[in-house]
Amino acid sequence: MAGPMTQTADLTYETSMSIDQGRRDRQEDAVVSDFQAGFPCGFVVLADGMGGHAAGDVASKIVVTEVFSELKLQSGDPELLEPQIGDILRRAAECANECVGLYASTRANVAGMGATLVASVFIEDRLYWVSVGDSPLYLFRDGVLTRLNENHALESQIDFLVNNGIMGYEEALNYPDPSCLTSVLIGDDIPQMDCRSMPLRIRHDDILIVASDGLQFLDDAQIEGVLRFSRKRSADDISAALMREIHKLDDPDQDNVSFCVIKAVQEGAKMSEPPAEAVTHSSMHQAGNKTITILAKVSRSGAGTA
């Protein structure tokens, strides 16, 4: 779904969200964005329920609901939000973690439920984020794709595991599941949290992608190739192009995939028109006594369901 174009002093943000179930039995990703036209602050929150664990779909919705609610509450005055953005993001993640733990503690059948988190906050031309787990935050700038946030998976955290006495070097290096998460929101202490409290400056023509690891069935070179080809098009076009590449893989193990494309454009620059084939799908999901609307942009030719 194409979001409103939020204007700042210099930039306009155009957004588009996509979500697809892939080949999984249920959708365990959740994503929501809030970019109001004319308002200098916007944000995206995404969570990926832990695959193979009980009630991962519930965990992701709890995390997205709690973090979204906290950011929405705090974002009314961006001038007050920004000086304490690091504390607010960290507190939002910790609160979401506690809520997952409380939910699981009262239901024996969902013990072990958990989710990743990546939340990005845009204040004018400045970007902040918090993340736990392996869900990526990408920046595409000057033709190059870069992952901005930490990857809390074993293959990327060998030094952390060794230095903290969790594993020996050889054990970590030869662990049979290198994608095993080293940090996740599960209700216990959070071992690792990437919280960006100093801003990253966003430039004209930057493209940001907040995603679940389902997008990484495409390798970085493939994602970069799609963005190079479509970088001058709308966020909706870019979103649709990425999802088409996922569908082309036709991978029998394709995970849930969700992402939000955020395109920064200099104020006054001509914005591309959204693709004609784009349609909007929205569904309501409940987590506890709160309700959140998850929006998805779906191509009519898409192979997956949202």
Q: Annotate 134-159 with three-state secondary structure.
A: CCCEEEEECCEEEECCCCCEHHHCHH
Q: Which of 2-16, 78-92, 204-218, 243-257 has the lowest mean pLDDT?
A: 2-16
In a domain, 304, yes or no: no
Positive/negative CA dihedral, 15, 304, 276, 232: positive
According to the model, what pLDDT value does residue 5 have?
A: 53
In a domain, 159, yes or no: no
In a domain, 172, yes or no: no
CA dihedral 152, 155, 158, 164 (to 10 degrees): 40
Q: What share of the chain is helix, strand, coil (3-state, %, to 5)?
A: 30, 30, 35
Q: Which residues on neighbouring strands pair with residue 280, listed in sequence order?
A: 297
176 vs 285, higher pLDDT: 176
According to the model, what pLDDT value does residue 162 have?
A: 80
**Comparing C-alpha atoms, which of 128, 116, 47 is closest to residue 87?**
128
Banded pLDDT at 138 (limits 50, 70, 90): very high
CA 199 vs CA 153, 175, 208: distances in Å: 25, 36, 14
According to the model, what pLDDT value does residue 305 have?
A: 32
According to the model, what pLDDT value does residue 281 have?
A: 35
Query: Could you tell me where the DSSP H helices lie in 1-84?
Result: 56-74, 78-81
According to the model, what pLDDT value does residue 197 have?
A: 86
In a domain, 170, yes or no: no
* 16-42 residue pLDDT tens: 999 999 999 999 999 999 998 888 899
For all residues of the chain together, what is the average pLDDT?
Answer: 85
CA dihedral 105, 107, 112, 116 (to 10 degrees): -80
Positive/negative CA dihedral, 75, 295, 238, 6: negative
Domain count, the chain: 1
In a domain, 278, yes or no: yes
According to the model, what pLDDT value does residue 293 have?
A: 33
Q: Give me the mean pLDDT over the 269-279 stretch.
A: 48
Banded pLDDT at 267 (limits 50, 70, 90): confident
In a domain, 54, yes or no: yes
- 79 exposed, middle or buried (CB, 10 Å; 0-12, 13-18, 19+)? exposed
**Comparing C-alpha atoms, which of 266, 256, 265 is closest to residue 294?**
256
What is the percent of the chain with per-residue pLDDT over 90, rounded to a whole number? 65
**Comparing C-alpha atoms, which of 283, 302, 269, 260 is closest to residue 3?**
260
According to the model, what pLDDT value does residue 295 have?
A: 39
Domain boundaries, position 86: 6-149+191-299
Q: Is the pLDDT of residue 166 over 50?
A: yes
Banded pLDDT at 176 (limits 50, 70, 90): low
Banded pLDDT at 3 (limits 50, 70, 90): low
Maximum pairwise Cα distance, the chain: 55
In a domain, 65, yes or no: yes
**250 SS3 class:** coil
In a domain, 260, yes or no: yes
Query: Quick check: 28 and 110 in contact, CB under 8 A?
Result: no
What pTM was estimated for this model as a whole? 0.84
**84 SS3 class:** helix
According to the model, what pLDDT value does residue 288 have?
A: 35
Tokens encoding 122? 């845009």
Q: Taking the chain, what is the end-to-end CA distance rounded to the nearest angstrom?
A: 12
Q: What is the CATH number of the domain that holds 272?
A: 3.60.40.10
Positive/negative CA dihedral, 231, 237, 239, 241: negative
